[in-house]
Amino acid sequence: MLETGINALAFTVGSFMVGITVLSAIRSFVLPRNESVLLNNWVFQGIRKIFELLASLGKTYEQRDKVMALYAPVGLVALPIAWLGVVSCGYMIIYWALGEGDLERCYRISNSSLLTLGSEEPSKYGMANVMSYSEATLGLLLLTLLISYLPTIYQAFSRREQTVARLELRAGPRASAVELLIWLHEAELLHHGPQWQNWEQWFIEIEETHTSLPILSFFRSPQPGRSWITAADLILDAASLMISTVDVPRDAHLVMCLKAGSVAINRVSRFFEMSAKTQASDAIGEYQPDINPHHSAFRDARQQLAKAGIPIQADEEAAWKKYQELRAHYSPAVLYLAKLTMAPEIKPI
């Protein structure tokens, strides 16, 4: 009686391990919602600690960036390996509960079924064979899920990086919001043009892709000096400076761009901060100073805009207060994500 109860408990535990792994895979790549998956978090956090240690050996940002560029791809490849490992252990316990022998033999049966090798078959018929075939099916399913979603991940990455690259071409690799607004003015796009609408759409895609596929946040730009975080901060800073300081008719797309960007950045930040419980390491994170500019920097920015021929608001104090209010909606989230992803140093206005 006791042996039957132990076998039933073992079968339940093994089934739970298999079920929770399959559910994790479905929630990761099939469910169109931004859910935090505990098993995935363990895998990514464990691998990140290794990469943090390796990156801490680098003396320059370029060296650390080169190491961390491998973090997301390695983590993504390790994810199905972890899934298969848990499924293998779960079925090993199930075979033991079904009386297939000691754990070593059950381990061989499990891996033979999972990898469709056929080198070790269950000795008992009925339920053991059903489990063997189901394990082979699940093994193929888990690998297929990741492979089928790789194009989706890299398409989202490519669309994100196109905007980052365009910003660099327009305003330079170390651009500021002032330089971006001056370029827009010189290109006669400051008062009209599709740029704010395009950037609004970019932020909407960032929110959707970087919460449903959170590993995307850690895929680094092809060039060490680029980052989607710094690009987002640049656009939001330019929008805030435009609304608070530039004396032109209000553009509805400009306002919506700022709103969409603030919402996207905060939701991505909250996903990691509250759901995934991920914390950045100050040891390897690029030092991020206080990115809130001082009043003197804001005054210099106004003078640069005026010198470029851009009309500015007469009331400097009111503009400064409005600029601070707008920045408060997104700057804490930007700073958190910059540390988390080890982005290049952010340049305020």
pLDDT in tens, the chain (349 residues): 456 788 889 999 999 999 999 998 888 887 777 777 888 889 999 999 999 999 989 888 889 999 999 999 999 989 989 999 999 999 999 999 988 888 899 999 999 988 887 777 787 767 888 898 898 998 888 888 878 888 888 999 999 999 999 888 877 666 788 989 998 888 888 877 688 999 999 999 999 999 888 889 999 998 888 899 999 999 999 999 999 999 888 788 899 999 999 999 999 998 887 544 434 344 445 545 555 678 888 999 999 999 999 999 989 999 999 999 999 999 999 999 998 998 887 766 7
Distance CA 10, CA 95 (A): 9
Nearest Cα neighbor of 345 from 60, 149, 101, 99 is 60
The torsion angle over the Cα atoms of residues 18, 24, 26 and 32, rounded to 10 degrees, is: 160
Residues found in the chain? 349
Using an 8 Å Cβ cutoff, are 71 and 115 in contact?
Answer: no
How far, in Å, CA of 64 to CA of 29, rounded? 30
Q: How far apart are CA 114 and CA 155, in angstroms?
A: 30
Residues 6+ apart with CB under 8 A from 139: 84, 87, 113, 114, 115, 116
Residues 73-82 have pLDDT tens digits of 999 989 989 9
pLDDT for the residue numbered 280? 39
Interior/surface letters 310-338, b for 16+ CB within 10 angstroms, e for the rest: bebbeeeeebbebbbebbebbbebbbbbb
- What pLDDT score was predicted for residue 282? 40
Contact between 69 and 62 under an 8 Å Cβ cutoff? The reply is no
Say what the pLDDT of residue 349 is. Answer: 73
pLDDT of residue 26: 87
What pTM does this model have? Answer: 0.84
Looking at residue 3, its pLDDT comes to 67
Q: What is the pLDDT of residue 217?
A: 93
What pLDDT score does 278 carry? 39
User: What integer pLDDT is reported at residue 175 of this predicted model?
Assistant: 75
How many angstroms separate the CA atoms of 64 and 339, rounded?
A: 13
Half-sphere exposure of 164 (CA within 13 A, CB side): 21
